[in-house]
A and B are shown apart, each in its own frame.
Chain A
Amino acid sequence: MPLEPFKISNPLTLGVELELQLVNLSNFDLTDASSDMLHLLRRANFPGNVTPEVTESMIEINTDIHTNHAELLDQLQNIRDTLVRAGDALNVGVCGGGTHPFQHWSERKIFAKPRFKEVSALYGYLIKQFTVFGQHIHVGCASGDDALFLLHSLNRYVPHFIALSASSPYFQGVDTQFNSARLNSVFAFPLSGRAPFLLRWADFESVYFAKMEGTGIVKSMKDFYWDIRPKPEFGTIELRVCDTPLTMERAAALAGYLQTLCRHLLTRTEPPPTEDDYLVYNYNRFQACRFGLDGTLVHPKSHETLSLREDILTTLRHIEPHAEALGSLAALEHLYTVIHEGSDASYLRKQYVERGGTEGMVDSAIRKFRAHR
């Protein structure tokens, strides 16, 4: 089936998907509760949309399409309150975080749905190991060409989003020394990484996708696990590198940042993206995963070494006029505090010390998810 045409949507509209953890409140391990949660949530009037994810211990929520940060935040908070109420009724803890710190992948159950069973048969243990939790942000684009332009212009900012959202320091019971260990799990998939450097939608559609489809490896865009991928049926690009933050406030702020950044990029005042920008891409991405805000970047054009923290601060200041125009100043404000107080990953590491172990860490994550009103 050829790729469907790129649906035109209102530029800079926003939508957020979040994968959340379902936790047993007795031992703080993941619990297989998504069927029960979905049953209960479908009975209530859910403010948004809720769907099963590949294993029974995750649940995915998504928002409607929004034009600004405040509306988006409002809906995310409503969603959170509904989820917390459902969790309370079923004795299930709901929380953010890119990984569960000590779950064992062999314990996971695949959700009974044909597509999940198929990918599970293909990828084997990779899928169960893929019990990681991400935030996906969609930004509306006026055309397929705009989408590809934004997708490639954003390459230099991908580490920002990784470092700001990082919330997966522990994996399978050990401190990985990474701030976002989750992305290492994503990297194991053969079709992960970045999109090919094409700037015209016509080329992407009729040359690249048609060839790939011809090889028989892919059937739809869903088979690509890229960091940013176009989503023609929505008319959006989808940023997929963020860990699910511990709070809805941070999830909304990250979306607000992306929206503001895209508005700035669309003025086309920055030097245009080139294939060579990707020479430093994987290195920068690694720095952000490993060291978070303390990492360093190599600028793709000038090749100078920058502190990631400084680079984010500079960018935030630079795009402030666009934030004012979009009404997303509050989002940038939130991110300033992240820079100063540390990411969710450093919060979780602190909890490990204060609460005495990974169980206490999960308990803190559950409290943080529900308490931030």
Chain B
Amino acid sequence: MIEKPYHVPLRLGLLSAAAAEPFLTEDLLKGVAGHAGVDLDKVVDRLPEDDPRWEVEPLRDLIEDAKHAFEDNRTQADAWLAPRLHAALRLTRREAADRRLWTHLALAVAPDYVAWRHRSRTTSKIGPERFRGAPDRQCFSRLWWAAEMFRDGADYTPVVTACGNQDLIHSALRRELIDHRPIAQALVQVMERGVAVTGREIEGLMTAVSAAGATLVYDALAPDVPRDPGVVRTWIEEAAHVSVPRRVLPDGPDEEPVPKKSVSDLTDFFADLFETAPVRGRAVKE
């Protein structure tokens, strides 16, 4: 199994997929052997020196703690790590959309975590997309984005629920539906109420919600409040002074929560929709 790299960079950088390709060797993707960190370091584009956000140590500590705490159940690490990674690595969405940052984190800083979390039990392989793939597949960016999309203002509790169900984050993150915050919150509520829980049920619900969206405008049916960009800015500036708590949930950026009425209206609507939604393996109710 891949161990922590011998050479861990001190600061996060940007690693393009083309530059990363030679390091995604057969051995690495089998989880057999890591890479020589020193060579990898030569192909990394640097980030500004004076920004404390790019220090690797706090992230590396967090990742070690996740590995240690969830040794026996690695999928559960997602719900623990997602909010904490989001609070430790404070980014604007513009910055988080840069895949090179995530590729660097996965390949240079924590390849051992990627291998531990994503090596398939059946094929003993790690998908290359876990290192340098689409935002909803890559090991760390999927967690960061799950936290960003499912948090309710400063409250990360819905993130924990969402990430506790692999099927939900898998099918939600690749759809644009959850870009509307009330939809994301309502999906979590539907799951908490026990309406749709299994993978097939969630997939069926999502398809039904998308289909209904062809004639219904969710933005009008369940409006959101405008976001204040200053709040995230301030939160990012505080990054240097905080350490992320391990036992309790951290606080996210103090944005206006999603309007309660919008969430409860949509939750009721989704629950009704699910009653008649076609779900594989479920008999259609008359």
Do A and B come from the same complex? Answer: no
